[in-house]
Amino acid sequence: MSAPKSGAPRVSRATRASTLTAVPAFDPKEMVARFRQRAEAVRTRGMPPIEGPERQRFRQQAQQDFADFAMIGDAEAELVDGILTLRVDLRPKDPPEGDSQG
Count structural domains, the chain: 1
Predicted local confidence at residue 23, as pLDDT: 67
73 is a domain residue: yes
The sign of the dihedral angle between the CA atoms of 55, 34, 77, 81 is: positive
| pLDDT over threshold 70, residue 74 | yes
> What does the mean pLDDT of the chain come to?
82
9 is a domain residue: no
55 is a domain residue: yes
94 is a domain residue: no
18 is a domain residue: no
> Domain of 40?
26-87
* Global pTM value: 0.66
Q: 8 vs 38, which has greater pLDDT? A: 38
| pLDDT over threshold 70, residue 34 | yes
